[in-house]
């Protein structure tokens, strides 16, 4: 499994609400989202502004898509100068399907889905993604456009099985948007996606994910990607903001968290499966990365950990 698929599999995104939004005239809505939610939107016609704190406003037009990986409130508006209203006043709570119309519609048609993510390490996994993924319209978006048009049809026409089809389409939209974001990373970009877009760094990350229990050394990884040890270490740190050994440990702990949450495997089994010779060595590493001992993590409520993550 490739690294992006692995991360999404650990997040277990489930689409609960897919709906359309048809707005006209002057309008401005403020959306507050939980930190265990991913939102994915696409503009099918017209345009609007996306406003997030700390980022310049983004003008979105037909064919463009954006993904918000979790936690940050945002605003959609026809004019950034307009004071916003609470989106809850326009959108019925947790209602799948259908189209919400504001001011008679006609100025913007947008489709979107809300995904809840699960797992005690969801906050850390979402932290590997950028605060906003903005996909601009171009010729490479055929698969995404197909999903969007099918979503519009499913929302407009109440057909048998439409809710289930919309859920599957929403997952396709999410993966396709992240895939396109990955394909358009620049050479100076920084972060996990930027590293995956670098062929040699992607090779190293894929090798780590394929065999997390291996006793990787810096020399092993450098040789694996055909680079000198010093050049490889420097580029990895530049792209990800952490050393290869730090990344290996963090990925192992994310895998361990998944096992602790979803299996009854004892530490004596999990530790060697992730490359640790003893429970104590594993427990020390887990506490350092996850800020608590593995046994405490296993028994701690998920909601508390999501808030902490």
Same fold, 3-183 and 192-308: no
Q: What is the pLDDT of residue 309?
A: 42
pTM of the predicted protein model = 0.74
pLDDT for the residue 221: 96
Between CA 3 and CA 207 the distance in angstroms is 10
Dihedral angle, C-alpha 24, 25, 27, 33, nearest 10 °: 10
- Cβ neighbours of residue 153 closer than 8 Å, sequence gap 6 or more: none
Q: What pLDDT score was predicted for residue 94? A: 47
pLDDT at 249: 96
- Cα–Cα distance, 270 to 129 (Å, whole number): 27
- What would the two tokens of residue 93 be? 């709570």
Just give the CATH number of 3-183.
Answer: 2.60.120.280
How many of the other CB atoms lie within 10 Å of CB of 11? Answer: 23
Phi, psi of 112 (to 5 degrees): -155, 160
Contacts 24+ apart (CB under 8 A), 241-249: 241/190, 241/191, 244/204, 244/208, 244/216, 244/218, 245/216, 245/218, 247/205, 247/208, 248/208, 248/212, 248/216, 249/285, 249/289
Q: What's the topology of domain 192-308?
A: Arc Repressor Mutant, subunit A (1.10.10)
Per-residue pLDDT at 132: 84
Report how far apart, in Å, the C-alpha atoms of 117 and of each of 23, 114, 208 are.
Answer: 29, 10, 24
CA distance 221 to 218: 5
- Per domain, the residue ranges of the chain are 3-183, 192-308
- Taking the chain (309 residues) in runs of 10, the rounded mean pLDDT of each run is 83 70 93 78 90 89 83 90 89 63 91 74 75 72 67 68 70 76 75 89 95 95 96 95 95 93 92 95 95 89 44
Per-residue pLDDT at 93: 55
């Amino acid at each position: 499994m490739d690294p992006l698929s692995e991360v999404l599999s650990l997040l277990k995104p489930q689409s609960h609400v897919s709906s359309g939004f048809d707005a006209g005239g002057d309008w401005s809505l403020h959306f507050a989202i939980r930190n265990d939610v991913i939102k994915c939107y696409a503009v099918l016609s017209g345009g609007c502004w996306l406003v997030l704190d700390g980022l310049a406003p983004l003008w979105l037009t037909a064919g463009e898509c954006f993904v918000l990986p979790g936690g940050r409130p945002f605003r959609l508006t026809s004019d950034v100068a307009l004071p916003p209203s609470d989106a809850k006043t326009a959108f019925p709570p947790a209602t799948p399907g259908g189209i919400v119309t504001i001011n008679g519609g006609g100025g913007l048609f947008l489709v979107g889905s809300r995904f809840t993510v699960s797992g005690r390490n969801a906050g850390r996994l979402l932290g590997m993604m950028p605060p906003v993924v903005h996909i601009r319209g171009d010729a490479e978006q055929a698969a995404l456009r197909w999903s969007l048009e099918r979503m519009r049809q499913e929302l407009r026409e109440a057909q048998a099985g439409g809710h289930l089809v919309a859920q599957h389409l929403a997952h396709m939209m999410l993966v396709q948007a992240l895939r396109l974001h990955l394909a358009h990373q620049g050479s100076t970009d920084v972060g996990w996606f930027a590293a995956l877009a670098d062929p040699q760094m992607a090779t190293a990350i894929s090798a780590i994910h394929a065999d997390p229990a291996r006793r990787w050394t810096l020399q092993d990884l450098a040789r694996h990607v055909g680079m000198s040890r010093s050049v490889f270490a420097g580029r990895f740190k530049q792209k990800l903001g952490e050393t290869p050994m730090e990344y290996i440990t963090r990925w192992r702990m994310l895998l361990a968290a998944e096992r602790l949450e979803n299996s009854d495997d004892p530490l004596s089994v999990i530790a060697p499966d992730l490359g640790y010779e003893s429970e104590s060595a594993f427990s020390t590493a887990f506490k350092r990365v996850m800020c608590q001992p593995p046994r405490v993590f296993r028994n701690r409520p998920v909601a508390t950990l999501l808030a902490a993550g």
